[in-house]
Structure 1
């Protein structure tokens, strides 16, 4: 899925009210609002069958000068910016041989295996959707995940185009037994957010973090690694030649959990180091770009020192800040939500 291409926004068929129940029917999805809760019933046709797909991790690859390193990671839990894709890739082959349908609930991710199930939470409104990842992308720097058009609708950001999200790995799609066809969210007031402040490393509590796979700021990219062209098939770039498999994984679930929305700021994580002195040195080099903080987290008993620049309050500002950090040689930098 080529996120560099412009995306056409295609409005869906309008909704209609049914009697006193307040029932809203939208493209096969029944929605009722009761006491602040939004309950959505997703039809079976909106859940990808996985037909023609196959299990795939993939080799390191490079797109537009940026390296991606696919791998299995059961601890994957990241924040970032979500976008969505649809019309240009509708009914084309995904990177693992399935057929992309923009009216179904699916997603593209640059490094997670395929197909897997992940929970995607819109941090701006609290909607949390379990989704099938079966494609590669987005390939615009600073983007964490690309939802299908239907997925973006359910998460409530289709019209605005992007949203702050958290992506959590749940498990392989093959054999997934989660609840199917039910999406529930709660409309709640945004939770109060504490002011962002730099903290001394000694004051940080050990947490499960995602820095073990970002600590490549000081590592060279894999030289001349061959690009797996099937990564670019279908949703990835509409290129032909991906090889489908006969075995199809079980149909996944579409469900959400109820939680209060969180309003946070965008940061650019320039790097993560095992050495505090290396982290502080990079922080000094980037200090002219804005506020820089070095914080510590502990991953599997090992301390990592993260260098983050920011905050900025919108995706456009985050994109600009990311490009500035990358121009300083930090090619592994990425956008995160604090």
Structure 2
């Protein structure tokens, strides 16, 4: 179920044998699958004690640390049956639909590109997205291996390429995507603000299956290559406000004072002081529990690992 890589090219393989099927030599998109890829959301899954909940989230907007993967996976099969090309603008994400389009902005230099999500991962050190080699080059972090980024889904464009992908998706896979939500999967007993367990039910199961071909998005530069819409290598320069590039490990955002106290106590037990700040989500005010700011990606990685090992597996690295 996708690929992952550790910083500067060392692959993380322990404990992920169940996911290795997609990191294999190409077999024309996998047995019975088109090379243009299928539409896939997927069921909740667990890697190294952490649960991930794929979902159609067309409001997705998150910050974190990006990594990239390249030569070791070039021309192999992605999690939705496409063939990975390290020179195209694609990416791996742990929960977003495949395919979907996201804008990734480097918060250190303001460089921004649109990429096609067609793979699962990354799973090392809480990375938020794994870029193709070309994506890392255009964002200016190929040499460093990581970058602080913002990832924003392009909602209407993602719906359009999803509809096109459904045309080539076998009925059993569409039925799995569009059918009843799977049985609940165990989550942390600590309340965490975020999407509900399990993928959302697709409300447009027949879109793009019959009738005329779905045209590619017109709001994003790109081309249809072997049946796939591939974003063009266009770099936009985005404004990045000064003073909003600090690293934190965020454990969660809570509406209950009891849960805030419980999390702070667990952090104190491992020697990590917590900062609590208010944040607005719609009409609701939540208390965000974080550790930081942290002075480097390496330090954030170490703190995240310690917190996850303490059982707070919903923790993640964010940039603010």
* TM-score interval (norm. to shorter): 0.5 to 0.7
Change over 3 Å in CA distance of 1:69–1:85 after alignment to 2: same
1:3 to 2:8 alignment: no
After superposition, the CA RMSD in angstroms is 2.6
Counterpart residue number, 1:283:
264
1:66 to 2:47 alignment: no
Counterpart residue number, 1:167:
151
Shift in Å, 1:254: 4.2
1:40-55 matches, within 5 Å, as: 51-55=35-39
1:148 to 2:132 alignment: yes
1:90-239 matches, within 5 Å, as: 90-171=74-155, 172-173=157-158, 175=160, 218=190
Change over 3 Å in CA distance of 1:282–1:6 after alignment to 2: closer
Kindly indicate which of the two structures has a greater share of residues assigned to helix. Answer: 2
Change over 3 Å in CA distance of 1:258–1:153 after alignment to 2: same
User: What TM-score, normalized by structure 2, do the two folds share?
Assistant: 0.67
Distance in 2, Cα, partners of 1:305 & 1:92: 43
Shift in Å, 1:293: 1.3
Higher relative contact order (CA 8 A, sep 6+): 1
Gaps of 5+ in 1: 10-49, 177-214, 226-246
Shift in Å, 1:77: 0.7
Give yes or no for contact 1:74–1:169 (8 Å, CA) kept in 2.
yes
User: What TM-score, normalized by structure 1, do the two folds share?
Assistant: 0.63
Shift in Å, 1:290: 4.0
Shift in Å, 1:163: 0.6
Distance in 1, Cα, partners of 2:297 & 2:303: 10
Distance in 2, Cα, partners of 1:301 & 1:86: 42
For the residue of structure 2 that corresponds to 1:80, the secondary structure is strand
Distance in 2, Cα, partners of 1:297 & 1:216: 21
Give yes or no for contact 1:216–1:271 (8 Å, CA) kept in 2.
no
Counterpart residue number, 1:257:
236
> Any idea what the Cα deviations from partners look like across 1:60-87, whole Å, max 9, x if unmatched?
0112222111001111111101000011
Counterpart residue number, 1:234:
none
Distance in 1, Cα, partners of 2:82 & 2:159: 13
Give yes or no for contact 1:267–1:318 (8 Å, CA) kept in 2.
yes
What is the count of residue pairs matched by the alignment? 235
For the residue of structure 1 that corresponds to 2:306, the secondary structure is helix
Match of 1:76 among 45, 60, 77: 60
> Any idea what the Cα deviations from partners look like across 1:299-325, whole Å, max 9, x if unmatched?
232222211011111111001100121
Match of 1:268 among 220, 232, 249: 249
Kindly indicate which of the two structures has a greater share of residues assigned to strand. Answer: 1
Shift in Å, 1:281: 3.3
